[in-house]
Amino acid sequence: MMEKHLISARLRAVKPSATVALSDRARTLAASGRDIISLSAGEPDFDTPAHVIRAASDAMASGFTHYTNAAGIPELREAIAEKLARENGLRVDPGREVLVLPGAKQGVAYACLAFLDDGDECLCPEPSWVSFRELVTLAGGRYIPVATRAENDFRLASGELERHVTSKSRMIILNSPTNPTGKVWSAEELEEVARVARKHDLIVLVDEIYEKILYDGRKHVSLAGLPGMAERCLTLNGFSKAFAMTGWRLGYLAGPARLIEPLLMLQQHTATCAVSFAQKGAVAALRGDSRAQDAMVEAFVRRRALLMDKLSGVPGLSVWKPEGTFYMFLDVRGSGRSSLEVSEHLLENEGLAMTPGDAFGECGQGFIRLSFAASEKTLIEAARRIDSGLRKLTGTRG
Ligand code: PMP
Ligand code: GLU
């Protein structure tokens, strides 16, 4: 007799989220009384701006607590379309080409479910955020990693993306600025992705959730704005990172109606709509002043500089300077240990939680991801613990 499984084959193929699981573990250890610093989760440590909270709480107090349009309240869809025109040079019809989501993550799930049949392939440059692979797999698709390397500044080698295209290829997922490396894709690199997508008629899911967190005068370029790309791009963004609104669970997708409409149907059947009063807060976030956002980015600039300084000279460690995001992808290959060994050692012996790099793809082996969404004081102590841990692991005296 065939063995019966409680869990579907689809879900059995999926791994837990290393980022979420490790953050939960760090929280549990801290609750048990251990002195734990957690730099594992990608979550801004700032408060949601006060005017955003006010708009949502006013909405709630006035009874705006019921279902909304499945695609999102018209006001928010308009504010999103205005934002995309103003900041990204993208023209979308707020009536048919914008979908408000209960978190950007949901948008990745919808796109995979909508556009991948069993065995269809989705290409993704790696290292990449942990959920891309698993959501492609959950949808029955084949996730095709395209490796990049720190030695090459995480740029795709020439022709590398196209080399992975087959007759089964349907979609590319691109995330710039990139979690976990902090790489920002240049206009020239994006043009190569666009060329491959156009030539092979592929959809591109472009995750721009870290677009605001850029360093050294870098400019964010939206792939959907390149010639011939608006018709095949789904631009994904959200409020978690740009406005420190992770717990609000709010994101959005924009793209041509032929790609948005199937996703709306998925939303109707799964979430119905995003949280009503959170959507009112999001309107205030997009239409209000950006002082809180500017201050947040300035703090990240200082923290990045602080860490670059404190981590220089740590034995077995080399640091790729991030161009955007609040992550650092620390290269610990010099310690002679695996990502997991280093991160377990740092958690068990130094009380410091960071995500092992191989959770972001095989080419992340030998790295660990640090999130510098923490106070300078915490980061100074974290750097001391990294130094202490790596000295012990490499047998170097302090
Ligand atoms: N994309 C990337 C690259 C992320 O790092 C995250 C993590 N939060 C998300 C999407 C999902 O964000 P949200 O909180 O809006 O679901
Ligand atoms: N995106 C963040 C991270 O990479 C939050 C956790 C998650 O959603 O994966 O840590």
Residues 230 and 335 in one domain: no
DSSP for 205-232 reads EEE-TTTT-B-TT-----GGGSTTTTTT
The pLDDT confidence band at residue 114, using thresholds 50, 70 and 90, is very high
pLDDT at 18: 85
Tokens of 184: 């920002």
Comparing CA positions, the residue from 340, 366, 338 lying closest to residue 353 is 340
Tokens of 161: 């993306």
Q: What is the sign of the dihedral through the CA atoms of 324, 328, 332 and 338? A: negative
Q: Ligand 1 centroid vs 180 CA: distance in angstroms?
A: 11
- Is residue 324 lining ligand 1, measured as CB closer than 6 Å? no
Rounded to an integer, the average pLDDT of 331-355 is 95
Residues 261 and 303 in one domain: no
Lowest mean pLDDT among 15-29, 122-136, 234-248, 367-381: 15-29
pLDDT at 154: 97
Strand partners, 319: 330
Instruction: Report the percentage of the chain scoring pLDDT > 90.
Output: 92
Rounded to an integer, the average pLDDT of 340-345 is 93
The pLDDT confidence band at residue 330, using thresholds 50, 70 and 90, is very high
> Could you identify the atom of ligand 1 that is nearest to the CA of residue 19?
7
Residues 232 and 218 in one domain: yes
Ligand 1 mutation target, pool 48, 240, 369, most atoms within 8 A of CB: 240
Q: Ligand 2 centroid vs 15 CA: distance in angstroms?
A: 14
Are 60 and 277 in contact by the 8 Å Cβ rule? The answer is yes
- Is residue 240 lining ligand 2, measured as CB closer than 6 Å? no
Q: What is the sign of the dihedral through the CA atoms of 313, 314, 319 and 322? A: negative
Q: Ligand 2 centroid vs 179 CA: distance in angstroms?
A: 9
pLDDT above 90 for 274: yes
pLDDT above 70 for 2: no
Residues 281 and 299 in one domain: no
Are 281 and 79 in contact by the 8 Å Cβ rule? The answer is no
**Domain assignment present for 1:** no
Last residue of a domain, one of 287, 315, 334: 287
pLDDT above 70 for 1: no
Domain, as residue range, for 227 = 50-287
Ligand found nearest the CA of 208: 1
In angstroms, the CA 336 to CA 61 distance is 57
Higher pLDDT, 136 or 44: 136
Tell me the backbone φ, ψ of residue 120, rounded to 5 degrees.
-65, 150
Ligand found nearest the CA of 246: 1
pLDDT at 396: 87
**Domain assignment present for 328:** yes
Instruction: Report the percentage of the chain scoring pLDDT > 70.
Output: 99
Are 199 and 167 in contact by the 8 Å Cβ rule? The answer is no
Ligand 2 mutation target, pool 14, 19, 135, 208, most atoms within 8 A of CB: 19
**Domain assignment present for 3:** no
Q: Ligand 2 centroid vs 234 CA: distance in angstroms?
A: 20
Residues 78 and 121 in one domain: yes
pLDDT digits (tens, 9 = 90+) for 184-215: 999 999 999 999 999 999 999 999 999 999 99
> Could you identify the atom of ligand 1 that is nearest to the CA of residue 239?
15
Residues 30 and 167 in one domain: no
Q: Ligand 1 centroid vs 105 CA: distance in angstroms?
A: 5
Are 203 and 230 in contact by the 8 Å Cβ rule? The answer is no
pLDDT above 80 for 108: yes
Are 345 and 389 in contact by the 8 Å Cβ rule? The answer is yes
pLDDT at 21: 84
pLDDT at 22: 84
pLDDT digits (tens, 9 = 90+) for 33-69: 999 999 998 889 999 999 999 999 999 999 999 999 9
- Is residue 327 lining ligand 1, measured as CB closer than 6 Å? no
**Domain assignment present for 2:** no
Q: Ligand 1 centroid vs 206 CA: distance in angstroms?
A: 12
- Is residue 237 lining ligand 1, measured as CB closer than 6 Å? no
The pLDDT confidence band at residue 357, using thresholds 50, 70 and 90, is very high
In angstroms, the CA 190 to CA 161 distance is 11
Ligand 1 mutation target, pool 129, 130, 132, most atoms within 8 A of CB: 129
Q: Ligand 1 centroid vs 112 CA: distance in angstroms?
A: 15
Counted domains in the chain:
2
Tokens of 219: 């400019």
**Mean pLDDT over each residue of the chain, to the nearest integer:** 96
Last residue of a domain, one of 238, 266, 287: 287
Q: Ligand 2 centroid vs 62 CA: distance in angstroms?
A: 33
- Is residue 172 lining ligand 1, measured as CB closer than 6 Å? no
Assign residue 307 the CATH number of its domain: 3.90.1150.10
**Beta strands, E only, 129-190:** 142-147, 169-175
Assign residue 55 the CATH number of its domain: 3.40.640.10
Are 212 and 219 in contact by the 8 Å Cβ rule? The answer is no
pLDDT at 363: 96
Which residue stretches of the chain are H helix? 9-12, 18-31, 50-61, 74-88, 104-115, 130-138, 160-163, 187-199, 257-270, 276-287, 291-310, 339-350, 376-394
Rounded to an integer, the average pLDDT of 89-110 is 98
What residue has token string 């011939």? Answer: 228
- Is residue 179 lining ligand 2, measured as CB closer than 6 Å? yes
pLDDT digits (tens, 9 = 90+) for 278-326: 999 999 999 998 899 999 999 999 999 999 999 999 999 999 999 999 9
CB atoms within 10 A of CB 269: 9
Residues 254 and 117 in one domain: yes
Residues 213 and 328 in one domain: no
Last residue of a domain, one of 257, 287, 317: 287
Ligand 2 mutation target, pool 14, 20, 135, 355, most atoms within 8 A of CB: 20
- Is residue 105 lining ligand 1, measured as CB closer than 6 Å? yes
- Is residue 252 lining ligand 1, measured as CB closer than 6 Å? no
- Is residue 23 lining ligand 1, measured as CB closer than 6 Å? no
Residues 79 and 36 in one domain: no
Residues 177 and 235 in one domain: yes
In angstroms, the CA 291 to CA 46 distance is 13
Ligand found nearest the CA of 104: 1
Residues 307 and 343 in one domain: yes
Buried b (16+ CB within 10 A) or exposed e, 249-264: bbbbbbbbeebbeebb
Confidence (pTM): 0.96
In angstroms, the CA 184 to CA 96 distance is 30
pLDDT digits (tens, 9 = 90+) for 173-183: 999 999 999 99
